[in-house]
Amino acid sequence: MNSIVQISNLTKKYNNNIALDNLNLEIKNGTVVGLLGPNGSGKTTLIKILSGLLRTYSGEVLIDGEAPGPITKSYVSYLPDRSVLNNFNKISDCVKFFEDFFEDFNTSKCKNLLNTLGLKESSKIKSLSKGMVEKLHLSLILARKAKLYILDEPIAGVDPVARDEILNAIIDNIEPESTMIISTHLVRDIENIFDEVAFISNGKIIEYDIAENIRTQSGISIDEKYKEIFGGVYND
Ligand SMILES: Nc1ncnc2c1ncn2[C@@H]1O[C@H](COP(=O)(O)OP(=O)(O)OP(=O)(O)O)[C@@H](O)[C@H]1O
């Protein structure tokens, strides 16, 4: 099985602050990977590099053999900043924009997702709650036919019912041949989705394993493992 993501000796500093510290990571095609770590561990920085948003770093990052940039953006589905959605008036305007912008965007899949998640295309973006914005964001991301999907904290700040709806939408729409990276510190609600998990701490991947291996070898859930590793920094 080929690797979609290959990262070697990746270091990213913001002035003197080391956000990623000689990080190594390899992710195989067709896996759903949980990127798990507390606040400030480097998740967003890593995701911004993978998405091509942060271009200055040392080390090597390859996505399907290419350094992050215009080429990889055509097969990596990620919306860096949800506030981008505020530039649009209605949900239908966002859908139209994605349709025009991404060749791999499947409009009917997006409309189905919006429908399943209880969103109306005629709704104004300004009228949406945080959970609804998250659902819109997810519908847009999942409606692309990408090689790599990156979901940054998809369930943060949404209520338990919306969380379940979002998780079900992710499960129902994962393409078997695609890879998905989901960053979160809300491990308990989402851990059943993961094939593999990467624990990130102080800018390094400190453990990477198949989720089931962790459960069988340590006899605890991924959530409990997270708490074991990060102790009191767990926040729900
Ligand atoms: N623009 C920036 N300027 C300076 N330091 C930054 C910047 N962005 C991130 N950092 C620092 O880099 C480190 C990693 O931050 P990052 O946002 O990647 O972590 P995170 O795991 O995504 O955290 P969170 O869960 O809080 O979003 C932190 O020490 C943070 O303070």
Q: Is the ipTM of this complex over 0.95?
A: yes
Ligand 1 is surrounded, with C-beta below 6 A, by: 14, 17, 19, 37, 39-45, 185
How does pLDDT run across 95-114, given as a tens digit for each residue? Answer: 999 999 999 999 999 999 99
Domain ranges, ordered by start, for the chain: 3-231
Q: Confidence class of residue 235 from pLDDT cuts 50, 70 and 90?
A: very low
Burial class for 199, CB neighbours closer than 10 Å (0-12, 13-18, 19+): buried
Nearest CA to ligand 1 atom 6: 14
> What's the confidence (pLDDT) of residue 175?
85
Q: Is the dihedral of CA 71, 101, 44, 206 positive or negative?
A: negative
CATH code, 3-231:
3.40.50.300
- For ligand 1, atom 12, the nearest C-alpha belongs to 19
Nearest CA to ligand 1 atom 4: 14
Mean pLDDT of the chain: 92
**Is the pTM above the cut of 0.90?**
yes
* Model pLDDT for residues 174-194, shown as the tens digit of each residue: 888 999 999 988 898 899 999
Query: Which run of H or E residues covers position 197?
Result: strand 196-201
| Cα separation, 73 vs 146, whole angstroms | 9
- Ligand 1 centroid to residue 191 C-alpha, Å: 23
DSSP code at position 201:
E
Give the residue whose CA is nearest to atom 26 of ligand 1. 39
How many A from CA of 203 to the centre of ligand 1? 10
How many other CB atoms sit within 10 Å of the CB of residue 17? Answer: 9
How much distance in Å is there from the Cα of 43 to the middle of ligand 1? Answer: 8
